[in-house]
Structure 1
Amino acid sequence: MRVGAHVSISSSKVSSDESKPPHDNIANAVCRQETFGGNCGQIFTTSPQVWKDPDISEEEAELFKRETEEKLDGPWVIHSSYLVNLCTPKDDLREKAIDSMQKEVDAADKLGVEYVNVHLGAHTGAGVEGGLENAASALDELDIPDGVTVLIESDAGSGTKLGGDFEHLAEVLSASDQDLDVCIDTAHAFAAGYDLSTREGVEETIEEFDEVVGLEHLQCIHLNDSKHECGTNKDEHAHIGKGLIGDEGMKTLINHPELEDVPLVLETPTENGKGFAWNIERVKELREE
């Protein structure tokens, strides 16, 4: 099983750390992942809250790649900036989104990272079809290096955000000339109305995803429980099994034969005395040998 967390690359001690990381660069992600008991994972290459380019030297990239090869199974996923809105009808924001995504896929190539994960964003008045067309055409402007794949992430679907319906994901994959794949976030899918809290609900959701998008496109799962009810469109993550998806849903997802080769990346909170290490261990406990 490949399971890990979204870890910080910071050289400073963060809330989930027991000790200060050893490096002054992105290789800290590897030691953090190992400390938490993960063997794959996700990172931001820079602050996700501002328009800022990744700043990674060749030496740092080589250290990251070497430590990953020695200590983890992989894969790594880069999560794009939260500011990226592929669906926007505004030309200036569109150009910033394209530029930011190009920098991320280039950074992935430099680091030997297979995937760059991105939300479709909000159509902000363009309408669903207009927003999806904007997203597909924006992605088509990227020069994606060989060995790097952009993953479209499912969304909780609040406001005018797109990606909450599996049909949105399928439409972008179909409309784009790029070879795109998908990341499903379990908390987002639950919030968007896909009931993952029971064995039957998980089975129905996987069957629907396969019919609409195709399981061959599912390359990563953000495994998160939810603090809010199914269909509320509220995106707030909970510890594995401690939210409204619960142990039955999580256990069914973790052990489903159609998902057994898909990497599981946790974006669970650090609260109530529990962090990434607790959540990764909980996933391993729920895995049936």
Structure 2
Amino acid sequence: MPIGAHVSVAGGVEHAVDRQCAIGGTCGQIFTHAPQIWAHTPISDEQVAAFRQGTQERLAGPWMIHASYLVNLGTPKPDLRRRSIHSLQQELDTAAVLGIPYVNVHAGAHTGSGADTGLQNAASALDALEVPDGVTLLIETDAGSGTKLGARFEELAFLLDASAHALGICLDTAHVLVAGYDLTTPAAVDATVDVFDDVVGLDALKTIHLNDSKHACGTHRDEHAHIGEGYIGTAGMQRIVTHPALRDLPFILETPNTDARGHADNIERVRSLRREAGISS
């Protein structure tokens, strides 16, 4: 199955392949630079070649780049808008160089200008980008705290419809839960998937951030838990990873990762949930 985790690129992007293989992943996600700063880390031709070769030989893929935390497409502030577009363009260009098919970004926050204005700002910022061939820009579902956009499926649908680009969606299970969409039982998962299909369309769904949540449905509090040990729970998680519309998508973990318990444990947990349901892991 296509499953992996967000891994570090410390020491060079090519080392992400080793780290992904070490936890049993077959796909994954990276930051191309420290996500709390604007400056992008240069990647040498040798690093690009090593990353591409390692990925081709050792991983089924795909990889996804997560944009900087500083990017805010919905901002009304001209300077922040300019820097956000520039940063995201660099991520898209880097993805093309590395052969990575997806770049993932949040819609951002309207910071008091209103959701409608924020969505319009985000759509126009997206259209200021040049998306290289072979790369798809994904908008991630948000937890919806404060003035953040993208927690409601209708907001995601607006961005997909408003932008001239062929955008996709990365669905974060923890974010969807705390945004108010129930995922705690098999029936609830089925109902939420149906709502997503009605509002956004399953054809737009390209990847899943597979995270359990330390907080309950509708709380808008973004804190991830180990698979099956949060408010989504075992039954909800098992249905997510076995649902016919979801089970073949790339699952990327952003669960807690410590020396005591890390991504390898959660990847094996997901595989065991699929085996218990009679689906290949």
TM class by shorter chain equals over 0.9
| 1:150-161 aligned within 5 A | 150-161=137-148
Equivalence for 1:123: 110
The separation in 1 between residues aligned to 2:124 and 2:150, in whole angstroms, is 16
Q: Specify the alignment match of 1:260 in structure 2.
A: 247
TM-score (norm 2): 0.97
Aligned to 2:125: 138
- Corresponding position of 2:59: 72
Q: Which residue of 1 aligns with 2:98?
A: 111
2:6 counterpart of 1:6: yes
State the distance in 2 between where 1:188 and 1:55 align.
32
What per-residue deviation string (whole Å, max 9, x for no partner) do you get for residues 162-188 of structure 1? 110001100000000011000000000
CA 1:247–1:272: 2 relative to 1, 3 Å: farther
**Rounded Cα–Cα distance in structure 1 between residues aligned with 2:204 and 2:238:** 22
How far is the alpha carbon of 1:273 from its aligned partner? 2.0
**Cα deviation digits, residues 102-134 of structure 1 (max 9, x gap):** 000000000000000000111011211110110
C-alpha distance in 1, partners of 2:40/2:141?
25
SS in 2 for 1:122: coil
- Alignment partner of 1:165 is 2:152: yes
Q: Aligned partner of 1:135: which letter?
A: A
Matched, 1:28 2:15: yes
Q: Superposed, which structure 2 residues align to 1:166-185 within 5 Å?
A: 166-185=153-172
Task: Tell me, in whole angstroms, the C-alpha distance in 1 between the residues paired with 2:95 and 2:258.
Answer: 31
Residue ranges of structure 2 left out of the alignment (5+ in a row): none
Aligned to 1:18: none
1: CA distance between counterparts of 2:222 and 2:247? 25
For residue 231 of structure 1, what is the aligned residue in structure 2? 218
Q: Residue 260 of structure 1: CA displacement?
A: 2.0
1:21 aligns to what?
none
Q: Extract structure 1 runs of 4+ deviating beyond 6 A.
A: none
Percent of aligned pairs sharing the same letter? 58
| SS of structure 2 residue aligned to 1:121 | coil
Which whole-Å CA distance do the structure 1 matches of 2:123 and 2:248 have between them?
A: 27
Q: Over the residues paired in the alignment, what is the CA RMSD in angstroms? A: 0.8
How far off is 1:54 after superposition?
Answer: 3.5
Correspondence for 1:206 among 187, 193, 197: 193
Which whole-Å CA distance do the structure 2 matches of 1:243 and 1:124 have between them?
A: 30
3-state SS of paired residue (1:162): coil
CA contact (8 A) 1:237 1:267 kept: yes
CA spacing shift, 1:272–1:31, aligned 2, 3 Å: closer
* 1:52 Cα offset (Å): 1.1
